[in-house]
Structure 1
């Protein structure tokens, strides 16, 4: 059973996450050593911090759990698209629908409203929802650009189990971090020693 940690893990961004916000977003659910799990969108406060640190929301943003759940749901759909692309499989229809909905879900302008005392006026119907919709549209657009652009060929999942992060491959490197690379090399060395001991 995975234990969820509440503190932010200190991990360097996976290769490509600095160029593609969608990779950073997809990797905001992190499997840590020792069966621990960190979700950087796990609570409204954590999701608020994640959005503000990436200039996707103003500092005064207050998030509701409903909005945080929408972000986590979009993250899972983007992860499904990244997984299908990395594995060379067809894109799942629900994931495509979710990303397309996020792409079109943010109004480009303040909407027109009517009030008997004010008359016609323009405003967002719910400012927090509009901020989350805008952030979702930005993340979905970056995911679409990544999945259809030249970097899509380098997209891969980290090759060190149980890590679930995605990265853009550089040369032969298939790990998201030094920590994962060391773990993968240690596992290979252990497997070699075990196989040799069995043949002796």
Structure 2
């Protein structure tokens, strides 16, 4: 079993998972408007300070959806040679555009150098956000850290029927994002075999 995903990985995956199967053969968007984004941020208390009081304006959901499209395009690249999520297969943002969007979003909040120096270690200089309340920049930084880190190697697209999620592979035999997706995939294979023999 692998380690628990980092905060950056969890946040990037949760953002990508705001596109999901709607239960009727289509895709639902949890960030379709200010109310959806407000609910999502409140369910992720570490994203911005005072997330419990966060209320999305009319402009921010569109900015977050643009960032999400970039993240999902970069996830599709990361899972190669595997196939991307079905939700993205025919509408992926080109990788150069995805990188431009991600980097532009991360740059919305400038960083400042902060010196850390404990008695037990040499001084370390780290770049930290000058302000921590820009939602789009915080999401972009988390996605960038995840994509540049070692956890990216475990990223997979779930190819169970009707699933459009990306997930981190927890063990060598894992093929789906959750057990219910594995059950759907096995049932679909069973029906396909019986259709072909009938």
Settle same-fold status: TM greater than 0.5.
yes
Contact 2:16 2:68 in 1 (8 A): yes
Distance in 2 between residues matched to 1:62 and 1:141, nearest whole Å: 21
TM-score by length of 1: 0.71
Contact 1:29 1:38 in 2 (8 A): yes
1:180 aligned partner: 181
Cα distance, 1:68–1:52 mapped onto 2, change above 3 Å: same
Question: Which has a greater percent of helix?
Answer: 1
Shift of residue 177 of structure 1? Answer: 1.8
2:192 aligned partner: 191
String of CA shifts for 1:6-49, please: whole Å, max 9, x gaps.
xxxxxxxxx95975210110011111332243322112011012
Alignment length (residue pairs): 161
Matched, 1:69 2:70: no
Question: Which structure 1 residue ranges, 4+ long, deviate > 3 Å from structure 2?
Answer: 15-19
1:7 aligned partner: none
Matched, 1:104 2:107: yes
CA RMSD of aligned residues (A): 2.5
Shift of residue 192 of structure 1? Answer: 1.4
String of CA shifts for 1:43-88, please: whole Å, max 9, x gaps.
2011012112212243333322211111111111100000111124
Show structure 2 runs of 5+ residues with no match.
Answer: 83-93, 113-130
Shift of residue 108 of structure 1? Answer: 4.5
Bigger Rg over Cα? 1
Distance in 2 between residues matched to 1:81 and 1:63, nearest whole Å: 25
Shift of residue 193 of structure 1? Answer: 1.4
Match runs of 1:16-95 below 5 Å: 19-55=9-45, 56-57=47-48, 58=50, 59-88=52-81, 92-95=95-98
